[in-house]
């Protein structure tokens, strides 16, 4: 069976589909790279030789993308999220229209590629604000549609991310999809941040502290994000010492150059136990014990991504790339529910197409 990505991002959804037995034949992601950074080399590292398209016309010309068995996607949801309200100057109406335009692009891609089934992840509020079920049915008249609202925590994720899944089954080819929800949270699921991060292989830091998962290793290194006075740089050790007195899940505070105490929006100390704050593209989540920002691999762990998903392809991780990778992990989809859903989609396809 063949699968494609429609707004597939760096490919975490498709990575799980490949593990479920699907052949990945392409990814169409037309979002502008300026606002939604997507590194083509990162796609190539995980899906060598599989085409990545940013242009709809190029995708339409590729016969391999036509009439595939499954399409998976995650259209941008930032315009609908609480973070999106903070990070944009657009009005509520303009953000709603932008979000609707992106959803309409997704449905257009479904009509172009004609998959037997598709599954799309987004925020539940879009059904109330910009794209009610009637809109989806008018856009995709040839599909039986199923609307699911799930909480990723119930399926083993360490975050309480409530998400909407819209699943379509092409009329005349397969029956409407009926989802079988989980009965109880997996007993081996992590109960908190520290448990989720446990066992990460420590990577040599050398001059790359952003890859070191042993946070104390470079504690005397100047922490260049925060300046005390006009010349002296705080060390990680000094930052971490103050950080340990900060209540969990509170906004990070630091001393600016002029001596003022500043609340750094988006910098949060995670609680060591229980559900974690949601990983998103605009926040720098801090380790609950040391005060270090989570590394890209640690953020990926909180998203449930497997450790074999390539994040660097051997590249040196400077500050710019570290920011991009952090941004990308926040734009992704947690993997635990996807691993639960995909076997059901595969079985549904196999039963009706056999």
Give the whole-angstrom CA distance, residue 348 versus residue 354.
10
pLDDT tens figures, 212-223: 444 443 444 444
- The secondary structure element, H or E, covering residue 252 is strand 251-255
Residue limits of CATH 3.40.50.150 in the chain: 2-184+333-353
Give residue 245's pLDDT: 61
pLDDT tens figures, 235-258: 555 655 555 566 666 665 655 556
Strands of 171-244, DSSP E: 222-227, 233-235
Q: What is the CATH number of domain 2-184+333-353?
A: 3.40.50.150
Inter-residue long-range contacts of 90-99, CB under 8 Å, 24+ positions, other chains counted: 96/129, 96/130, 97/130, 99/126, 99/130
Q: For residue 145, name the pLDDT band (cuts at 50, 70, 90).
A: very high
Phi, psi (5° rounding) for residue 209? -65, -20
Give residue 253's pLDDT: 61
Give residue 266's pLDDT: 57
Non-local (6+) Cβ contacts of 110 within 8 A are 6, 71, 118, 140, 143, 168
* CATH class of the domain at 193-331: alpha beta
Phi, psi (5° rounding) for residue 233? -100, 135
Q: For residue 279, name the pLDDT band (cuts at 50, 70, 90).
A: confident
Residue limits of CATH 3.90.120 in the chain: 193-331
Give the whole-angstrom CA distance, residue 24 versus residue 54.
17
Distances in Å between the Cα of 241 and the Cα atoms of 63, 216, 231, 262 are: 58, 12, 20, 17
Give the whole-angstrom CA distance, residue 107 versus residue 241.
50
Q: Helix 335-353 crosses helix 12-19 at what angle (to 10 degrees)?
A: 50
- Which residue's entry shows tokens 């340990």? 244
Q: For residue 173, name the pLDDT band (cuts at 50, 70, 90).
A: very high
Tell me the whole-structure pTM to 2 decimals: 0.83
- Candidate from 31-40, 112-121, 231-240, 299-308 with smallest mean pLDDT: 231-240
Say whether 295 sits in a helix, a strand or coil. Answer: coil
């Amino acid at each position: 069976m063949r699968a494609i990505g429609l707004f597939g991002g760096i490919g975490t959804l498709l990575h799980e589909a490949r593990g479920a037995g699907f052949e990945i034949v392409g990814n169409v992601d037309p979002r502008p790279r300026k606002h939604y950074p997507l590194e083509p080399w990162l796609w190539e590292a995980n899906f060598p030789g599989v085409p990545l398209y940013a242009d709809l016309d190029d995708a339409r010309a590729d016969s391999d993308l036509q009439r595939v068995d499954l399409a998976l996607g995650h259209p941008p949801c930032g315009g609908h999220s609480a973070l999106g309200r903070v990070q944009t100057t657009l009005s509520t109406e303009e953000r709603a229209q932008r979000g609707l335009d992106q959803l309409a692009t997704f449905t257009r891609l479904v009509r172009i590629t004609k998959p037997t089934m598709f599954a799309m992840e987004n925020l539940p509020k879009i059904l109330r604000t910009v794209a009610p079920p009637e809109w989806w049915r008018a856009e995709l008249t040839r599909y039986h549609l199923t609307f699911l609202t799930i909480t990723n925590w119930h399926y083993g994720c360490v975050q309480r991310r409530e998400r909407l899944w819209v699943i379509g089954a092409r009329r005349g080819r397969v029956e409407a999809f009926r989802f079988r929800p989980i009965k109880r949270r997996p007993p081996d699921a992590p109960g908190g941040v520290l448990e989720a991060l446990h066992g990460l292989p420590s990577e040599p830091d050398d001059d790359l502290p952003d890859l070191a998962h042993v946070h104390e290793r470079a504690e005397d290194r100047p922490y260049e994000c925060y300046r005390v006075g006009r010349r002296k740089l705080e060390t990680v050790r000094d930052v971490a010492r103050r950080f340990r007195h900060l209540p969990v899940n509170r906004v990070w505070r630091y001393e600016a150059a002029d001596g003022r105490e500043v609340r750094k929006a988006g910098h949060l100390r995670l609680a060591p136990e229980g559900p974690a704050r949601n990983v998103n593209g605009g926040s720098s989540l801090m380790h609950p014990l040391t005060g270090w920002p989570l590394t890209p691999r640690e953020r990926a762990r909180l998203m449930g991504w497997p450790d074999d998903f390539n994040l660097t392809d051997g590249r040196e991780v400077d500050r710019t790339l570290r920011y991009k990778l952090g941004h990308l992990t926040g734009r992704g989809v947690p993997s635990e529910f996807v691993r639960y859903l995909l076997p059901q989609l595969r079985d549904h396809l196999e039963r009706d197409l056999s």
